[in-house]
Amino acid sequence: MSNEFDNKIKDLNNESVHSLDQCETQESLENWRVDFLGRRGRIALLLREIPKLDSKERGDAGFKANQLKNMLQKLFDQKVQDLNSLISSENNQEFDVTLPSRYIDRGTYHPTTQVVREISEAFYNMGFQIIDGPEVEQDVYNFQKLNIPAHHPARDMWNSLWVDKLSDSGETPLLLRTHTSPMQIRILENHKPPIRVLVPGKAYRYEATDATHEWQFFQIEGLVIDENITFANLKGTLEEFAQRIFGEKRKARFRCDFFPFVEPGAEMSIDCFKCDGNGCRVCGESGWIEILGAGMVHPEVLKGVGYDPNKYSGFAFGMGAERIAMLKHGIDDIRNFYSNDLRFLKQFSY
């Protein structure tokens, strides 16, 4: 081992031991520990110099450096013990070790997180891959490649929060994504069929909040692409999902709806799990509860990413996680999820 490195170890040994002897308080002890034994302390810096040594010297250098580290750790632990004993004797207070410990509140998942995890697990068990995507999105992914070009009337369906709407530079504008559907395009551009993915994540819209609307919310997007995918596959998959989340006896109903990136589009409702379809306050006396929107992926969307719509087909669906949670738990105001009221959140601890 080089004399220079050996001298560094000796100097560090003398300095650290002398400095430790001067520590008389818990604060000074902690400062000493950070300075010498911390992740960025003097010992750590010394260990980082070892790879720079000659290969024949590294073993001996590493042994001595670690030996110093272990010795200092033992001296530090003994110093802490001695100081604690001194403080205890000075306070002259008796401590009953048989007393029960104080109760510590245990954290739990937010109700929205619980529902997202439950839905993700249901689709994961059906063979879906769970992925994530960016919340700050490009206009081309959020709208254009989803069959919603500039000035299209369908853009009025989404009140957007723009990050940078200037397009004179030739760059696509940026916005907080209004839905998780942009991940459909990103997935199709970077993967080959068969595709079966679920995308949970936050979405943002510029709108006033009330009992049923929030400007930020969780949405869960699903996408399936392969050869010979039909609407029957869509119905079977979503009916199975509804039964796993709301109960095995649930029935599903599909009615026509419009979304620019699917054709045909549909809304899916289930028979009310509170009244079994007889009519109650939860379902508005209709016996049915709408839970999500879905449809077959539009051929223009497939063409836009280089897929042959005569060969490949698929379906997509999207749902609000808070809406599912509201239905499951009988919550009547979506604002409760983001009010940070512990009285509300503790109801969902487990």
Question: Residue 237: its pLDDT value, please?
Answer: 95
pLDDT of 95: 62
Kindly state whether residues 254 and 293 are assigned to the same domain: yes
One domain, residues 142 and 62: no
Note the pLDDT of residue 88.
66
Q: Higher model confidence: residue 23 or residue 268?
A: 268
Whether 144 has a pLDDT exceeding 60, the answer reads yes
Written as one letter, the residue type at 49 is: E
Does 61 have pLDDT greater than 90? no
pLDDT in tens, 195-218: 999 999 999 998 888 887 888 999
In a domain, 41, yes or no: yes
The reply to whether 81 belongs to the active site is no
Catalytic-labelled residue, pool 42, 186, 196, 205: 205
Structural domain contains residue 105: no
For the residues 145-172, what does the mean pLDDT come to? Answer: 76
182 and 290 in a single domain? The answer is yes
Residue 316 annotated among the catalytic residues of the structure: yes
Is 309 a domain residue?
yes
Q: How would you classify the pairing of strands 129-130 and 262-271? A: unpaired
pLDDT of residue 221: 95
| Domain of residue 222, residue span | 111-348
Percent of the chain with pLDDT over 70: 94
Residue 241 lies in a domain: yes
Contact 219, 116 (CB under 8 A): no
pLDDT value of residue 314: 96
Number of structural domains (the chain) is 2
**Is 161 within a domain?**
yes
**Is the model more confident about 83 or about 258?**
258
The dihedral over CA atoms of 149, 154, 160, 165, expressed in degrees to the nearest 10, equals: 30
CA pair distance 317, 221, nearest whole angstrom: 6
Considering the domain architecture, whether residues 44 and 121 belong to the same structural domain is answered as no
To the query of whether residue 179 is one of the catalytic residues in this protein, the response is yes
Q: Which of 148-162, 174-188, 320-334 has the highest mean pLDDT?
A: 174-188
Q: Give the C-alpha separation, 65 to 176, whole Å.
A: 51
Residue 335 and residue 186 share a domain: yes
Q: Is 158 assigned a catalytic role?
A: yes
What are 241-296's pLDDT values in tens digits?
A: 999 988 888 888 999 999 889 999 999 998 887 777 777 776 777 888 888 999 99
Q: Which two tokens stand for residue 250?
A: 């649930």
Single-letter amino acid, residue 9: I
Q: Are residues 153 and 84 in the same domain?
A: no
Indicate if the pLDDT at residue 37 is higher than 80: yes
198 in the same domain as 121 = yes
**Averaged pLDDT score across all residues of the chain:** 86
pLDDT at 123 over 60: yes
Residue 102, domain member (yes or no): no
Structure tokens at 260: 């620019």
Q: Is residue 101 situated within a structural domain?
A: no
Residue 243: CATH number of its domain: 3.30.930.10
SS3 sequence of the chain: CCHHHHHHHHHHHHHHHHHHHCCCCHHHHHHHHHHHHCCCCHHHHHHHCHHHCCHHHHHHHHHHHHHHHHHHHHHHHHHHHHHHHHHHHHHCCCCCCCCCCCCCCCCCCCHHHHHHHHHHHHHHCCCCEECCCCCEEEHHHHCHHHCCCCCCHHHHHCCCEEEECCCCCCCCCEEECCCCCHHHHHHHHHCCCCEEEEEEEEEECCCCCECCECCEEEEEEEEEEEECCCHHHHHHHHHHHHHHHHCCCCCEEEEEECCCCEEEEEEEEEECCCCCCCCCCCCCCCCEEEEEEEEEECHHHHHHCCCCCCCEEEEEEEEEHHHHHHHHHCCCCHHHHHCCCHHHHHHHCC
Q: How far is CA 140 from the centre of its chain?
A: 24
Residue 11 has pLDDT above 90, yes or no: no
Same domain, 69 and 173: no
Q: Span 165-188, mean pLDDT?
A: 82
Which pLDDT score is estimated for 183? Answer: 95
Distance CA 202, CA 188 (A): 20
Give the range with max mean pLDDT: 102-111, 154-163, 260-269. 260-269
Q: Are residues 175 and 222 in the same domain?
A: yes
Query: Among the options 115, 316, 321, 325, which is catalytic?
Result: 316
How far from 117 is each of 109, 122, 205, 256, CA to CA, in Å? 10, 9, 23, 29
Catalytic residue among 158, 298, 301, 325: 158
Overall average pLDDT of the 108-119 stretch: 91
Of 203, 262, 294, 301, the active-site residue reads 262
116 in the same domain as 86: no
- C-alpha 237/C-alpha 243 separation (Å) is 10
* Residue 203 sits in the same domain as residue 312: yes
Q: Has residue 104 been placed in a domain?
A: no
Reported confidence tier of residue 350, pLDDT bands at 50, 70, 90: low
Give me the percent of the chain exceeding a pLDDT of 90.
Answer: 38
- CA-nearest of 238, 260, 264 to 251 is 238
Mean pLDDT of 145-149: 89
Out of 114, 138, 184, 219, the active site residue is 219
Asked whether 268 and 350 are in contact (CB, 8 A), the reply is no
Q: Answer yes or no: 219 catalytic.
A: yes
Per-residue pLDDT, averaged over 221-231, amounts to: 95
Tell me which amino acid residue 184 is.
Answer: Q
At a CB cut-off of 8 Å and minimum separation 6, what does 118 contact?
245
pLDDT confidence of residue 311? 95
Closest by CA to 133, choosing from 206, 185, 60, is: 185
